Amino acid sequence: MDPAQGKLDSLKTALAEMGSVLVAYSGGVDSTFLLKVAHDVLGGRAVGVTALSESYPQAELEDARRYAREMGARQIEIETRELDREGYRANSPERCFFCKDELFTKLAPIADREGCRFVVYGEIVDDRADHRPGARAAREHRVRAPLAEAGLTKLEIRRLSKEMGLATWDKPSMACLSSRIPYGSEVTPDKLAMIEKAEDVLRNLGLRQYRVRHHGAVARLEVDPRDFEELVRSPVRDLVVRRLKDLGFQYVTLDLQGYRSGSLNEVLGPRPYA
């Protein structure tokens, strides 16, 4: 049997045994796949919940709504207040713990109200090789990670998503806007708004994979190296510089290493995560 198909079968079996699930659903590759499979297996006993906050881009919300409609899954939207938490605003390397703790705290009563036996989220095997303090919050709240439990990787989820006809199969990776702010620099609504608007500039240019890292007066752009030539050519370069300076950045730089996931974790050095 194809290994990915075998893992998918294991996922379906696990979800069927759970009986009903509340899915933390962002509209990303992994959570969309999880909600789709859960909906296929459990029908109305699988409910997606999308958390709205300053760190969640409006464009991502629009995508999440569309994907849920297309798969026929029920979606609930709630407000989370991670910025009210001092540990989150302080932006230590444990920031994601406070975010997930806020999320899972809000999801527990919704699961009770909806009659869902389990809260689940989209952690995958690949995530366990990176610095993911949110996983500690999941363990503390007894939130399950069915994709990781089934041994599914990002490449397998993309391939299976394509076979299922999900629009997310080749969607670029996305993370919350706070991940663009270096550790130790306070997370504020103003910074998050600047980042979202700056990334909208790149998205409207047709770029697919990008990050605008907020280093105070400096906007450090990470894009696919294949887009370097287009980005530095006038008039595109002039437009990007002007728009980002209008947002409040004084300097606009291009990172010659290009986009890489979790680049702000590089300062942490090798991590003992498996």
pLDDT exceeds 90 at position 224: yes
Size of the chain, expressed as the number of residues it contains: 274
Q: Are strands 210-215 and 218-223 parallel, antiparallel or unpaired?
A: antiparallel
Kindly report the pTM of this predicted structure.
0.93
Residue indicated by tokens 């009770």 = 112
pLDDT exceeds 90 at position 270: no
Q: Rg of the chain's alpha carbons, rounded to an integer?
A: 19
Tell me the pLDDT of the chain averaged across its residues: 95
DSSP code at position 94: T
Asked if 91 and 187 count as a contact pair (C-beta separation under 8 A), the reply is yes
Q: Cis link prior to 235 (omega < 30° from 0)? A: yes
Question: Side chain identity at 234, as an amino acid letter?
Answer: S
Ramachandran class of 73: left when φ > 0, alpha when ψ lies in -120 to 50, beta otherwise: beta
Per-residue pLDDT of 138-150, as tens digits, reads 999 999 999 999 9
Domains in the chain with CATH codes: 3-170 (3.40.50.620), 177-266 (3.30.70)
What share of the chain in percent tops pLDDT 70? 97
Per-residue pLDDT of 189-204, as tens digits, reads 999 999 999 999 999 9
Q: How far separated are the first and last CA of the chain, in Å rounded?
A: 27
pLDDT exceeds 50 at position 272: no
Structure confidence at residue 149 (pLDDT)? 97
Q: Which helix (H) or strand (E) holds 78?
A: strand 74-79
DSSP code at position 173: P
